[in-house]
Amino acid sequence: MKALTVRQPWAWAIAHGGKNVENRTWYTAYRGPFAIHAALKDDVDGHRDHRILRAMGEAIEDADEDRFDYIYGALIAAVELVDVHSDLARSCDCGPWADPYAWHWVLADAWPLPEPIPATGRQGLWVPAPDLLAQIQAATP
């Protein structure tokens, strides 16, 4: 299993808001399970993004208060990376989370961890230490 560090509120959206595409400027050949690590820093503009606001509104309607907390500096979810493709031709139909002119990392089966696992993030895809892997695997179905 690998991990990817993602800034808030995007990490929250993957774990709880139905975000099924992670937009990146780079390609990876990796496919399979990976953990979402919530970075220590925010993407300030992300908090005003219409997709985040809509996902938060839906969470409020569902009255699922456990879904409202932004966690920082921890592993918060596990997902499956099922596809990676470029949208340079703007011909992709990946839905509202996909940005044009980006590499779309298509995600499936997001599983929020019951408790955040404190960890230090890194750039790019990274391999969690064995103790972190054991904690992730113990918390996922």
Question: Which of 83, 13, 79, 76 has its CA nearest to residue 50?
Answer: 13
Domain count, the chain: 1
CATH number of the domain enclosing 10: 2.30.130.30
Q: Output the DSSP codes for 22-40.
A: EEESS-----EEEEEEEEE
User: How do the pLDDT tens digits run along the chain, 141 residues long?
Assistant: 999 999 999 999 999 999 999 999 999 999 999 999 999 999 999 999 999 999 988 887 776 555 667 999 999 999 999 999 998 766 788 999 999 889 999 999 999 999 999 999 999 999 999 999 999 999 987
Cα–Cα distance for residue pair 74/65, rounded to 1 Å: 19
Q: What is the pLDDT of residues 60-99, one digit of tens each?
A: 777 655 566 799 999 999 999 999 999 876 678 899 999 9
Q: Is pTM beyond 0.75 here? A: yes
Q: Which residue range is the domain that position 133 belongs to?
A: 2-139
Cα–Cα distance for residue pair 105/97, rounded to 1 Å: 11
